[in-house]
Amino acid sequence: MTTDPATYRHRLTVFEWRLYLVAALATIYALVWRAIDRPATAVADGARAPTEAPAAPARATVWLDQLPLAQRPTITAPAGWTVIDRGAAPAPVAPTARPRVVRAPESRPRRVRTRSS
C-alpha cells in the first residue's frame, strides 16, 4: 500500500504536541518578563540618568492605630462587623531577667509555710 503525497495529512504525535506546548509557554514567559523588566532596564541602560535621589515609595498599608489621631479616616464597618483595638502600643520597659533558680539551703525544711503573700 502506498500513500498519495497530495492527500497525505501529517498527524501530530504526542511528542510533537509537547514541543509546541513548551514553545508556546516559553514565548509567553519571555513576553511577560520583558514587560515587567522594561522600566528597570530603561533606567539601568542610562536612557535617562536620575538627577536626584528617587523619593521613597509610599507605604501601601499601615495599621490604623499607627496613624496620628488627626489622620485616621472614619471607618464605617459593615453591618454586623466591629472595629477592634489591638491594644495601645506598649510603653518601652527595661528588659527583665528571667528568674534565677538557686538551690535552697540544706537547713531549710522541705515543708510549706502558708501565709498571706
Partner 1 sequence: MWTFHAMNTEVAVAAPGLTEAAERAFAREVASMFDATERRFSRFRPDSELSALNRASGTIAVSAEMLEVLRAAREHVDASGGLFDPAIGAALIAAGYDRSFVPGALDRDDASAPPPPARFTELVIDAATACVQRPAALRIDLGGFLKGRTVDRAAAAAPRDAMIDAGGDAVVRGDGPEGDGWLVDVEDPADPDRVLVTLRLRDRAVATSAPNRRRWRTGASFAHHLIDPRTGASGRSTLAQVTVVARSAERAEVLAKVAFLRGARDGARLLAEDVDVGGVLVARDGTLQVVGAVEVVDA
Residue for grid cell 540618568: 49
Kindly tell me which of 7 and 117 has the beta carbon lying closer to partner 1: 117
The answer to whether the beta carbons of residues 89 and 100 sit under 8 Å apart is: no
Residue 41 Cβ vs partner 1, minimum distance, rounded to whole Å: 45
Kindly tell me which of 15 and 63 has the beta carbon lying closer to partner 1: 63
Kindly tell me which of 54 and 78 has the beta carbon lying closer to partner 1: 78
What lies within 8 Å, CB to CB, of 83 at 6+ separation is: 64, 75, 77
Q: How many CA atoms lie within 13 A of 35 on its CB side?
A: 6
Residue 99 Cβ vs partner 1, minimum distance, rounded to whole Å: 4
Q: Which helix (H) or strand (E) holds 14?
A: helix 14-44
Binding footprint of partner 1 on the chain (CB under 8 A): 82-88, 90-93, 98-104, 108-117
Residue 89 Cβ vs partner 1, minimum distance, rounded to whole Å: 9
Residue 85 Cβ vs partner 1, minimum distance, rounded to whole Å: 5
